[in-house]
Structure 1
Amino acid sequence: MTLALDTAAQNLLFREARTANAFTDEPVTDEQVRAIYDLVKNAPTAFNQQPLRVVLVRSPEARERLVGHMMENNKPKTSTAPLTAILATDHEFHEELPRLLPFAPDLKDTVFGERPVREQQGSFNASLQVGYFILGVRAAGLAAGPMTGYDAAGINKDFFPDGNHAVLTVVNIGRPAENAWFPERLPRLDYDEVVTTV
């Protein structure tokens, strides 16, 4: 055994976890989402910048607006999922750095003073946080259905009109329904196809 996680945890987070396309109508509570966030907030980011922002789409009006920006195949599952979250990058994340990185407060204006730097760094590090968020959903015994099939410009304009945030993915969250998965898991590349030693 070379992994610290027991087999049940490995299966829950990785081997048996799959992208869900259909969910039961069991609600996802604010307490569950808070527990997920409190678990994954400790994931690493460069300079502890933490640029991920999460918008929980709960109201019927907001759900209708979001569904209008989804590609056709994603509309039915987004309209019926118990909870949908918009995961976005905050391009003004540097404003929090003096509190998050108190031993280097000058980074706010030196390294991250230019918007293009913040956009590049923020998108990368928030994407790391997205991966951990999905693992957190799985750790809560729920299923995640992350999607990139949407009109990003439309979502940004509709949900982030200040221009300081950019959507990275939209994730449906809930208990998987009976036919939540595609019939077979798609293939993955093997170790020797991915890993080289130099």
Structure 2
Amino acid sequence: MTATHASAESLFTAGRSHSSWLPKPVSEAQLRALYELAQWAPTSMNCQPMRLRWVVTAPSKQRLIDCLYEGNKAKSEHAPVVVIVGQDLDFPATLPRLFPHKTDAQAYYSGKPDLVASTALRNSSLQGAYLIMAARALGLDCGPMSGFDMQAVDAAFWSGTTVRTNFLCNIGYADHAQVKPRGPRLPFDEACTIV
């Protein structure tokens, strides 16, 4: 079985992480369409802890760039959009609405900050991966990033909330002429074990 379908190619085998961007804007309508797809990511007990800050204005972009490690500043400066993928540590409060058939779902997390933190991180990461796939499906390019001061980003963009930053992702139309050769991947027999 091979991934030969055009959508599988655009999502996986031809999809790349980009650092250079064309000066072509991404509209609010596109961001809304992107979320409309990404919202369908599976999460445990439908907890949906991902929260997004779409950084598009010049002042907001500068606040974010000030929080980035040096090697990432230019990547984000020229991207039309940088999305801060956050994780809401108060996600249990939404469970009565999002997972109503399990009436004790919210209580499952009560007094368990480690469980809340690990659930928020795991599931917002899963949702963030879907966000990247949704962007590619809509013809956008992505450049997901670590390499930032998390406390500084939290203070600049999530102050006064229960949301903490997971990762950042540049979104736009990549300058494909600047892309580096794809790095190797681990083969099945090195990365996988069938038990």
Q: Same fold (TM over 0.5)?
A: yes
Distance 1:28 1:75, change over 3 A: same
The answer to whether the aligner puts 1:197 opposite 2:194 as a matched pair is yes
How high is the TM-score relative to the length of structure 1? 0.93
What amino acid is the match of 2:193? T
- Structure 2 SS opposite 1:84: strand
Q: Say whether the 8 Å CA contact 1:157–1:163 is kept in structure 2.
A: no
Q: Say whether the 8 Å CA contact 1:91–1:122 is kept in structure 2.
A: yes
Aligned to 1:46: 44
Equivalent residues in 2 for 1:56-95, closer than 5 Å: 56-95=54-93
Once the two structures are TM-superposed, the CA of residue 150 in structure 1 deviates from its matched residue by 0.5
Which runs of 5 or more residues in structure 1 are unaligned?
A: none
Equivalent residues in 2 for 1:122-137, closer than 5 Å: 122-137=120-135
CA distance in structure 2 between the partners assigned to 1:157 and 1:61 by the alignment: 15
Aligned to 1:8: 6
- The answer to which of 114-123 and 132-141 deviates more is 114-123
Once the two structures are TM-superposed, the CA of residue 161 in structure 1 deviates from its matched residue by 1.3
Deviations 1:24-70 (A, max 9, x none): 11111111111111112111111100000010012211111000000
- Structure 2 SS opposite 1:18: coil
What amino acid is the match of 1:45? T
Aligned to 2:182: 185
Q: How many residues align?
A: 194
Q: Say whether the 8 Å CA contact 1:87–1:168 is kept in structure 2.
A: yes
Aligned to 1:156: 154
- Structure 2 SS opposite 1:25: coil
Distance 1:2 1:180, change over 3 A: closer
Once the two structures are TM-superposed, the CA of residue 163 in structure 1 deviates from its matched residue by 5.1
What amino acid is the match of 1:127? S
Q: Say whether the 8 Å CA contact 1:45–1:125 is kept in structure 2.
A: yes
Find runs of 4+ consecutive structure 1 residues off by over 4 angstroms. Answer: none
CA distance in structure 1 between the partners assigned to 2:185 and 2:166 by the alignment: 23
CA distance in structure 2 between the partners assigned to 1:120 and 1:145 by the alignment: 24
CA distance in structure 2 between the partners assigned to 1:7 and 1:156 by the alignment: 40
Aligned to 1:168: 166
Deviations 1:131-160 (A, max 9, x none): 111111111111100100100111011111
Deviations 1:80-139 (A, max 9, x none): 11111100100011111101001113211x211133321111111111111111111111
CA distance in structure 1 between the partners assigned to 2:155 and 2:44 by the alignment: 28
- Aligned alpha-carbon RMSD (Å): 1.4
